[in-house]
Amino acid sequence: MIILRAPVRISFGGGGTDLAEYYRYFGGFVVSAAITRYCYVVVNERADNLIRISSADYHTWESYPLSPLPPVQQPLALPKAAVSWFVEQGALKTGIDLFLSSEVPPGTGLGSSSAMTVALVHALSVVTERALAPLELAALACHIEIELLQTPIGKQDQYASAVGGLNTIEFSDEGVYVAPLSLPSGIVSALNRRLLLFNAGQARNSADILGPQRADTAKQAKTIDALHRMKSLAVEMTQALQAGELDDFGELLDRAWQEKKSLSERVSSSAIDQYYAAARQAGALGGKITGAGGGGFLLLYCPLDCQEEVRETLKKLGLCEMMFDIDFMGTQIANGEWQSARYPITRN
């Protein structure tokens, strides 16, 4: 039995610039952090050449022969695509049991689908004895989601999950460059204590937002200009963090959220606007809906002296807080304890 996990992420700024329709012309830039909530994959080899996939999140399972493989389609299209890739590469030659589970609900803006893909390709690379570094796992996860499954998403989630930590990620046609934000431990701890995450209770399919956004990026000057500003704000966020100006970082989150809302009327809603306004009135300096928007988790930056009031305010509105820390390990395998091989962060 092999057990693996990959962290989900919170994205602070630059989301949308990791779409190929933007970065191939202008270059993308995102600042994000992996967090201590995970997607898990358990894999066992079988002797009967059957593939059995079970998903706790979707309460479903399927079983099919190793050869011939069925078409990659729902349900469970994501793990089917990952299995098919390894079979077609001649790497997977035995039957397996795959069990998938996540600590966060699907469709809530924390990149759980991409984290699950990273965990899947990591698990299958281990069982097939194909050693892949974190950046290689991220690239393969992108290939499976974006190219094989034609999902209209960007690339930030896969790299954030595979590498872990607090990073800036740059995107271009030449590749992806991940740079850890090497901050003093006191600054990281202070930032961690000032970030709050609340489940707004509205799951959605990010493709419903990113699909039209991707089309608009290719032809709408208004969308491109907004993405330019969002990228600039992500750079300013990075500079604020490096300078230890955390409250400035919080205010930049608010400015970036206002820009993000201009991309599509689906990014926010009357309920989300109500939650955010109430949090700001209670003392939060900034925040955003994680992921593409439209629902999911509300991320807030709150000075310590206002956190009790923010929590009470959102609790009265029916929101539930999810506790977390920043994860610095990335995708890991359980071997007595969670272990992660560290690799140099470079171009991929």
Domain(s) labelled CATH 3.30.230.10 in the chain stretch across: 2-182+327-339
CB atoms within 10 A of CB 67: 9
What is the pLDDT confidence band of residue 333, given thresholds at 50, 70 and 90? very high
Q: What pLDDT, in 10s, does the model give residues 319-332?
A: 999 999 999 999 99
Q: Which two tokens stand for residue 300?
A: 């807030």
Q: What pLDDT, in 10s, does the model give residues 196-248?
A: 999 987 665 545 545 565 555 556 788 899 999 999 999 999 999 999 999 99
pLDDT above 60: residue 341:
no
pLDDT above 70: residue 123:
yes
CB contact at 8 A, 34 and 9: yes
* C-alpha triplet 191, 196, 199: angle, nearest 5°: 150
Which amino acid type is present at position 263?
L
Domain(s) labelled CATH 3.30.70.890 in the chain stretch across: 185-321
- Given the structure tokens 């689908």, which residue do they identify? 113
**Distance from C-alpha of 230 to C-alpha of 17, rounded to nearest angstrom:** 8
What CATH number labels 2-182+327-339?
A: 3.30.230.10
pLDDT above 80: residue 347:
no
CB contact at 8 A, 50 and 35: no
Q: Which CATH superfamily is domain 185-321 in?
A: GHMP kinase, C-terminal domain (3.30.70.890)
Check residue 221 and give its pLDDT.
85
Check residue 266 and give its pLDDT.
79
Give kind and range of the element (H or E) at residue 337: strand 337-339
Q: What pLDDT, in 10s, does the model give residues 140-181?
A: 999 999 999 999 899 999 999 999 999 999 999 999 999 999
Q: What pLDDT, in 10s, does the model give residues 173-209?
A: 999 999 999 999 999 999 999 999 999 876 655 455 4
CB contact at 8 A, 286 and 300: yes
pLDDT above 80: residue 346:
no
